[in-house]
Amino acid sequence: MYPTLRLLVLISITGCVELISVKTPQKHVTVTMGESALLQCTFVSAEETTALTIQWDFVSPSTMMQQVYYYQAGQDVITDSYKGRVQPPYSPGTTRNASISISNMQASDAGVYTCQVHNFPDVDGESEANVIVKVLEKPSAPYCSVHGDVESGHLVTLTCHSECGSPTPKYTWIRLDQTKTRRPVLGRATETGVLEIRNISEFEFGEYQCTATNAVGFSTCTIELSPEVGDGVIAGAVIGALLGCVLILLVVWFIAHTLKKRRYKPVNPSEANEMTRSAPQAQQASDSVTVATPASNLHAEGDEPQA
C-alpha cells in the first residue's frame, strides 16, 4: 500500500491526523528579461495557521541553493539580495496562498524555485512544490569578424557571436550587394555563426550581414568583405604609412639643413671681404635670425680672423 493511501486510511479511521498539501498551479513560468515572475503556490491544511511557516528557495545550475523569502509568525523576511524585488504573499494564513512575485527578472534568476509550507502540527503530506522559471533574453548585438586572406582563391571564414541571449541564438548570414539587395551566401554556414567561403572569388566580395535570432528577438552586425580588408593589405598599409612618415622627416631635415647652409654662405672666403666691410650690418642680420644656434655663431666667429 502507498504511504499516502495508508495515511488516508489512518485518517478515515482516527479522524484526527491531518495532511498538508502544497501545490504550484503553474509548474513552468517563462518571463522576458526585466519582467516580473509570479510564482504561485497554494496549500491546504485543516489546522489553524498560527504556526504557519513559508519558505521560498532558489537553485540553478550555476548557484547554490539560497533562500529568497521566509514567513513566520506573520513576519516577512526577504533575503538581502532580493530586497525591493520580492512581493510577499498577502495574508497567507487566511488566504492559504503563499504566492510571491519577483520583479526585474535577469538571466541569472532562471532556475528552480521551491515553495515549502509547514503548519505545525500538520507536518505530514506534500509540504513542498517547485516552479521552474525560464528567463528569455533577446540576443545582444553580435560581433562579426573575418578570418583568413581575403584574396581570390583563398579560404575565408566569417564568424558571428552574441555574448548574451536566451534561448541560445541561432545565426544566419546573408550578403548585401551594391544595391543592398539581400543575396544568399555562397558558402557553408553553421547555426553557430560560422560561414566558410572556400576559394573566394570577386563575386563573393561585398557586405555580409549576420542575424542572431531567438524566441524573443534578433540583433545584427555587418562586415565588409573586400580585397582591401585582408591582413596582408593592412600590413602593407601600415608599412606604407611608416615609409611616408620617414620620407616626410627626410624632406623636413633636408629643408632645414639647406636653410642652415645658406646662412653659412657669408663666411665663405670669396664673400668674406664683403662681410667684414659691412660687419655691423651682418651682425644685425644674424641677430634677427632667431633660429641661429650657438655652434653656428662660433663657426662664423672662428672664420672671421682668416679674412
Ligand X SMILES: *[C@@H]1O[C@H](CO)[C@@H](O)[C@H](O)[C@H]1NC(C)=O
**CB–CB of 212/170 below 8 Å?**
yes
Nearest approach, Cβ of residue 198 and ligand X (Å): 7
153 lies in the site for ligand X, by CB under 6 A: yes
Give the E-state strand segments of 198-275 in sequence order. Answer: 206-214, 217-225
42 lies in the site for ligand X, by CB under 6 A: yes
284 lies in the site for ligand X, by CB under 6 A: no
The correct pick among 67, 79, 97, 172 for binding ligand X (CB under 6 A) is 97
Report 220-259 residues binding ligand X (CB under 6 A).
none
Of 145 and 199, nearer to ligand X (C-beta) is 199
Q: Which of 38, 244, 193 is nearest to 131 (CA)?
A: 38
Nearest approach, Cβ of residue 92 and ligand X (Å): 9
94 lies in the site for ligand X, by CB under 6 A: no
15 lies in the site for ligand X, by CB under 6 A: no
**What is the amino acid identity at position 292?**
A
202 lies in the site for ligand X, by CB under 6 A: no
Other Cβ atoms closer than 10 A to 141: 12
Residue 235 in grid coordinates: 600590413
**DSSP-derived 3-state class of residue 84:** coil
Nearest approach, Cβ of residue 103 and ligand X (Å): 13
Binding mask 49-88 for ligand X (x = CB under 6 A): ----------------------------------------
The correct pick among 14, 90, 280, 288 for binding ligand X (CB under 6 A) is 90
The residue to which cell 578570418 is assigned: 147
| Parallel/antiparallel/unpaired status of strands 143-147 and 217-225 | unpaired
**What is the amino acid identity at position 88?**
P
201 lies in the site for ligand X, by CB under 6 A: yes
**Up-side HSE of residue 33: CA atoms within 13 Å toward CB?**
15
> Which of left, alpha, beta for 286 (phi over 0: left; psi -120 to 50: alpha)?
alpha
199 lies in the site for ligand X, by CB under 6 A: yes
Residue 99 in grid coordinates: 504566492
Stretch that binds ligand X, among 5-13, 37-45, 60-68, 167-175 (CB under 6 A): 37-45
99 lies in the site for ligand X, by CB under 6 A: yes
Nearest approach, Cβ of residue 48 and ligand X (Å): 20
Q: Which of 71, 126, 72 is nearest to 99 (CA)?
A: 71
**How many residues in the shown chain lie near ligand X by CB under 6 A?**
9
Of 104 and 222, nearer to ligand X (C-beta) is 104
Other Cβ atoms closer than 10 A to 138: 19
Which residues lie near ligand X (CB under 6 A)? 38, 40, 42, 90, 97, 99, 153, 199, 201
